[in-house]
Amino acid sequence: MEDEKKSLNFIEQIIEDDLKSGKHKEILTRFPPEPNGYLHIGHAKSICLNFGLGIEYNGKTNLRFDDTNPVKEDVEYVDSIMEDIKWLGFEWNGEAHYASDYFDQLYEWAVDFIKKGIAYVDDQSAEAISATRGTPTRPGTDSPNRNRTVDENLDLFSRMKNGEFGDGEKVLRARTGMDSPNMHMRDPVLYRIKHAQHHRTGDTWCIYPMYDFTHGQSDYIEGITHSICTLEFENHRPLYDWFLDQIYDSTKTRPRQIEFARLNLSYTVMSKRKLLELVQKNIVTGWDDPRMPTISGLRRRGYTPESLRNFAEKIGVAKRDNVIDVSLLEFSVREDLNKSARRVLAVLDPLKVVITNYPEGQIEDIEAVNNPEDESMGKRMVPFGRELFIEREDFMEDAPKKFFRLAPGREVRLRYGYYITCNDVIKDTAGNIIELHCTYDPETKGGQSPDGRKIQGTIHWVSAEKAIDIEVRIYDRLFTDEAPDGHKDVDFKEFLNPDSLEVLSHCKAELYLKNAEKGDKFQFERKGYFCVDLDSTAEKLVFNRTVPLKDSWTKQNNVKN
RNA sequence: UGACCCAUGGUGUAAUGGUAACACAGGUGGUUUUGGUCCAUCCGUUCUAGGUUCGAAUCCUGGUGGGUCAGCCA
């Protein structure tokens, strides 16, 4: 094997330069979610990036909850976030951190700012502050409170902290200047008053620091070397650096913010607000609905951690806006499951077949391979009998030449079984096909004939007598539009796919599946990859279709139609 | 009429001044007891105009197109 040099993304580039120059001996990254929702595939990209860098460069990665807004945050989210990160296969450095751990330090820094004359208490309303901030092209104007004395500011700020004012009555602002071309640098708000219960600090505080005043300082406290975030924070970087300039001690590690482009996936939405709306309006069954792009949804759908990590690797890291085709995600899970999933026979839309020349009451065991990609996964026995079920779509009464399956007078191979030929089509009074009468060739057991005659088609089947009943949930994309939230004036919910879930409650599966457990993954031969859903009971197994197999037959036909 | 950022096949990512590569998607063919897998093959004036250079996707300048920013959200 040539030791070909792996190309580096721009962040790895920066890190290698920093390591080489001696700026850092070891790197420390962090993943900083706000506990206000469940993690989605976009977060998975960030997790794989941050933790992956930690591993790649022999450094570490902190988990830090960015919990500065008590009204939106909850421990439910803290728990799910930790579960998802662990499930993805990553381990954070030490205990989980919380920005709220640093509230005391942050408050001290705020007091220092006041003493240095670079922060002041503003009495203006939110509306007034907004109105005097200017626009991107026009500078803002100074607050009438901008030149209060240090003592007055100190007094007011401590009274804010002590709860003497109501929500919104006062804020602490930095004195960075109202004429900056960067909106974020126009006297940004540092602290606001919220008389709210915090999920960790309870009612200790009634003032809470803003994101900008918290994030960089938290990085600094933890000794983060590379603080990686998404592109929309690029305009915040001057502020991030400005705060650090005020508190930086040159003996300590100074973190650097680096921005990359967030993940967008076609045919879905990624914003937590919109995902929350789908949950709250019961459009989906919950954050872990298998149609959701959440990590918990993908997990329930049958995605593996490995497939998600591979996906993150494949999409790369760069700064330009991107939309990844969902087919790449689907490819990633097929690629992984193809190697690891046991094959079984299951019929989703059963059509009865009677083999008229097969002895009544006889059942024989037929050997089947568990995974042709991996011999070590062994073989199993599948019961075969006179009455079988095959897939309804595997029979066509008036079949075209290229249809390689069952049709009147045509011979087909039952996978691992016998060759059968269809002789009679039984219909009900309405003309619906209810049963097929076939004959089998006893010489073809296992699926090959002594005379070597060519059989084009192989179809799957289960014994009618020995099959178990299962429910199968077929999922399709949640939205019919490639970019549901990319339309101005049209709500993303207008593009919901009415057929995103189809429940098949009368499916038949081979006996082997009887003892399958929740989360187990299988390939139903010729149909796709499926996993046992949480809703399964002792009486009935429920399967989720993770992803169908590639199907060049129906694709070919769709083109023709 | 601001600041910051971005521009390479349909999609995404490489090429670190020296033959535009890889993956997905799509097309075609081959193998096949899954119409799966696997294999082969096809699919590009690197946004544009200049400049620097023996040599530019890469460096510089202008243009064009796109993104982000006017929360007491993160």
Q: Give the number of other CB atoms < 10 A from CB of residue A489.
A: 4
Look at residue A167 and tell me whether its pLDDT is greater than 80: yes
User: Rounded to whole angstroms, how far apart are CA atoms A265 and A478?
Assistant: 12
Q: Nearest nt (C1') to A413 (CA)? A: B33
For residue A487, how many other CB atoms are within 10 A of its CB? Answer: 12
Look up the CATH architecture of domain A272-342+470-557: Beta Barrel (2.40)
Residue A272 is among the residues annotated as catalytic for this protein: yes
Q: How many whole angstroms separate alpha carbon A310 and alpha carbon A338? A: 14
Residue nearest to nucleotide B67 (CA to C1'): A321
| Whether pLDDT at A177 is above 70 | yes
> Hey, is A46 helix, strand or coil?
helix
Q: Tell me the pLDDT of chain A averaged across its residues.
A: 96
Average pLDDT over residues A330-344: 98
Distance A486 CA to B57 C1' (A): 30
Q: Looking at the C1' of nucleotide B74, which residue has the nearest alpha carbon?
A: A211
- CA R_g for chain A: 31
Whether A1 shows a pLDDT value over 60: the answer reads no
Q: How far is the CA of A415 from the C1' of B38 (A)?
A: 20
Protein-covered nucleotides on strand B (Cβ within 7 A): 1-8, 10-16, 23-27, 33-38, 66-74
Measure A444 CA to B60 C1' (Å).
Answer: 75
CA pair distance A271, A279, nearest whole angstrom: 13
A489 pLDDT band (50/70/90 cuts)?
confident
Protein CA at A432 to nucleotide C1' at B67, angstroms = 56
Both tokens assigned to A443? 């010489």
The 3-state secondary structure of A430-441 reads CCCEEEEEEEEE
Angle, CA A45 vertex, CA A43 and CA A49 arms, to 5°: 115
CATH 2.40.240.10 domain extents, chain A: 272-342+470-557, 346-459
Q: What is the predicted pLDDT for the residue at A377? A: 97
- Residues A521 and A337 sit within 8 Å (Cβ to Cβ): yes
Distance A17 CA to B52 C1' (A): 27
Write out the E strands in A80-181. 97-98, 119-122, 171-174
Q: Is the pLDDT assigned to residue A556 strictly greater than 80? A: no
List CB contacts of A202: < 8 A, sequence separation 6 or more: none
Per-residue confidence (pLDDT) for residue A487, from 0 to 100: 87
**Helix, strand, coil % in chain A, rounded to nearest 5:** 30, 25, 45
The CA distance from A39 to A44, in Å, is 7
Torsion of CA A14, A20, A24, A26, to 10 degrees: 90
Kindly write down the DSSP assignment for every residue of A311-323, as one continuous string.
HHHHH---SS---
* Burial class for A238, CB neighbours closer than 10 Å (0-12, 13-18, 19+): middle
Domain A24-260 belongs in CATH node 3.40.50.620: yes
Across all strands, nucleotide nearest A138 (CA–C1'): B2
> Among all strands, which nt has the closest C1' to A526 (CA)?
B34
Does an H or E element contain A154, and which?
A: helix A150-161
Which of the four pLDDT bands, split at 50, 70 and 90, describes residue A554? confident
Exactly one of A272, A291, A343, A526 is catalytic; name it. A272
CA proximity to A56, closest of A96, A2, A1, A9 = A9
Nearest nucleotide (C1') to alpha carbon of A235: B4
pLDDT band at A557 (very low <50, low <70, confident <90, very high): confident
Is pLDDT above 90 for A3? Answer: no
Place of tokens 């900083």: A32
pLDDT digits (tens, 9 = 90+) for A378-404: 999 999 999 999 999 999 999 999 999
> pLDDT at residue A561 above 60?
no
CA of A261 to C1' of B9 (A): 21
SS3 per residue for A184-209: HHCCCEEEEECCCCECCCECCCCEEE
Q: Is the pLDDT of residue A168 over 70?
A: yes
Give ∠ CA A278-A284-A288 in degrees, rounded to 5: 100
Q: Residue A346's pLDDT is what? A: 98
Determine the nucleotide nearest to A192 by Cα–C1' distance: B72
Looking at the DSSP bridge assignments, the partners of residue A273 are: none
Q: Are A437 and A356 contacting, i.e. CB atoms less than 8 angstroms apart?
A: yes
Largest CA distance in chain A: 102
- Cα–Cα distance for residue pair A150/A153, rounded to 1 Å: 5
CATH architecture label of A346-459: Beta Barrel (2.40)
The pLDDT, as a whole number, for residue A276 is: 95
Residue A477 designated active-site? no
Whether the pLDDT of residue A248 is over 90: the answer is yes
User: Can you tell me which residue has its alpha carbon closest to the C1' of nucleotide B1?
Assistant: A137
Q: In what order do the strands lie in the sheet with A342-344?
A: A342-344, A521-524, A528-532, A541-548, A468-475, A501-509, A346-347
- Could you tell me if A18 and A57 are in contact, meaning their C-beta atoms sit under 8 angstroms apart? no
| pLDDT, position A38 | 97
Which member of A12, A23, A34, A364 is catalytic? A34
Judged by C1' against the alpha carbon of A191, the nearest nucleotide is B72
Q: How far apart are CA A34 and CA A405, in angstroms?
A: 54
Catalytic residue among A72, A133, A262, A445: A262
| b/e code A429-461 from CB counts within 10 Å (16+ = b) | eeeeeeebebbbbeebbeeebeeeeeeeebbbb
The gap between A317 CA and B16 C1' (Å) is 16
pLDDT in tens, A264-289: 999 999 999 999 999 999 999 999 99
Write the ipTM: 0.96
Paired residues of A459 in beta bridges: A414
Q: Measured in angstroms, what separates residue A414's CA from nucleotide B29's C1'?
A: 27
pTM of the model: 0.96
**Is-catalytic flag, A170?**
no
A5 pLDDT exceeds 70? no
Pinpoint the residues of chain A covered by CATH 3.40.50.620. Answer: 24-260
Interacting residues of A10 by C-beta distance below 8 A, sequence separation 6+: A260, A317, A318, A319
CA angle A62, A66, A71 (to 5 degrees): 155
- Which tens digit of pLDDT belongs to each residue from A512-542? 999 999 999 999 999 999 999 999 999 999 9
